Amino acid sequence: MPVCVRSEIGPLKRVLLQRPGRELEHLVPETMGTLLFDDIPYLRRAQEEHDEFAALLRSQGVEVLYLDELMAETLRAVPGLRDQFIVDAVEQAGSITRGYRQEAREYLESISDDLELIRRIMAGVPRSEIFPRNSGHLADLLGEKSDFVMPPMPNLYFTRDPFAVIGNGVSLHHMHTKTRKREVIFGQYIFNYHPDYRGQVKQYYDRADYFSIEGGDILNLNARVLGVGISERTQAEAIEHLAANVFADEAGEIDTVLAFLIPHTRAFMHLDTVFTQVDTDKFTVHPGILPFLRIFGITGKGKKSLTIRELSETPEQALARCLGLDRVKMLRCGGSDRIAADREQWNDGSNTLCVSPGKVLVYDRNYVTNRLLEDSGIEVLSFDGSELSRGRGGPRCMSMPFERTDM
């Protein structure tokens, strides 16, 4: 199968990344909040850190794919698709872009190299690249250098969110924020038109669906159990819809969805910012969510309707039962130190990427949590994320597994 992910910890074989590009240099203080950044990363250093991340993955035998390269391959594979994609990219980029649709299309059509076309769309197109200063437009006479005909997409290096591989299928997401909605266009084209995926990957959710859901909230706990966070960015209605579609797939194995209600705050924007699996029976967790965490079980495979009930078990009890284990262990981000927990949570101390059972990739800056992982028998592969972490995402956020070996 072209994609296969039935766990969070099975040996990682193939993963999708996106190396940060000029879109980070198109962040300015006035637009940081709108574009979901708290600071402006230094691009060259962010790229060096991302390259270190990719090299660590390759050292573990993982094949690394890049979103922009995969998308360029998609355009080359289907005659006429490039023109269709340019039209879609312009129409989905916002009202200002649509207001200049003819000029924007002509500009993009003039870029002959497919990979460069994709990267320009990701980076955003400033007015100055389309209109000269003497164009006569009032907006140009105002001299607003930070104006964009097509806005940048600086969150793209977090490949986890726009779609998620679930078993042998994929969920294409309706993103919560206006800023990130059009990121899904790349996954939509890849899974609909790339020769390696076209017609071979079941789609469990569509970006046109009404309710928001994002990949950082989706965890493949095992072949039968899917975990989904009810979070700042994933709605309960979306989880019901996803569960119904997953259960309706007769070839699929998933028969249980665990929905985890977490506090709806930016610090805990997705389930994987507060909770990830690091070994067969071990999970990281931010202790700040535990007093508020509620768990709901959703079943109904082979039936006409879903059965939904709140579980009276502790997280440890619910996970152990659903995973067929005697017990599971929760490793608290920051240990017992509240200050360390909050600090390292902000820098994604709980956002680990498991490359095989008991072996995880992490940011080295979260040294309290990393030491706790090592003391619990977890092999820690760390790298510098000082610039990457400014986007509020860690190693799991920056990766979308396409294939893991079954446990």
Crossing angle between the packed helical segments 67-77 and 81-91, to the nearest 10 degrees = 130
Tokens at 294, concatenated: 């509620």
Kindly give the residue spans of alpha helices, DSSP state H, lying in 176-262.
184-193, 236-248
Catalytic residue among 4, 322, 354, 397: 397
d(CA 119, CA 303): 45
What are the C-alpha distances in Å from 229 to residues 233, 268, 397? Answer: 9, 10, 14
Rounded distance between C-alpha atoms, residue 268 and residue 313, angstroms: 22
Residue 115: φ, ψ to 5°: -65, -40
Whether 397 is catalytic is: yes
- What CA–CA distance (Å, rounded) separates 287 from 289? 5
Retrieve residue 88's tokens: 């879609």
- Please tell me the distance from the alpha carbon of residue 344 to that of residue 273, in angstroms, as a whole number: 11
Structure tokens belonging to residue 181: 């909605």
Please name the amino acid found at residue 127.
Answer: R
Q: Measured between alpha carbons, how far is residue 227 from residues 94, 155, 218, 397 in Å?
A: 33, 24, 6, 16
Contact at 8 Å (CB) between 156 and 23?
yes
Question: What are the CA-CA distances from residue 251 to residues 166, 183, 394 (Å)?
Answer: 13, 29, 33
CB-side exposure of 222: number of CA atoms within 13 Å? 15
Secondary-structure breakdown of the chain: helix, strand, coil percentages, each rounded to the nearest 5: 35, 20, 40
- Run of H or E including 89: helix 81-91
Q: Which residues are catalytic?
A: 397
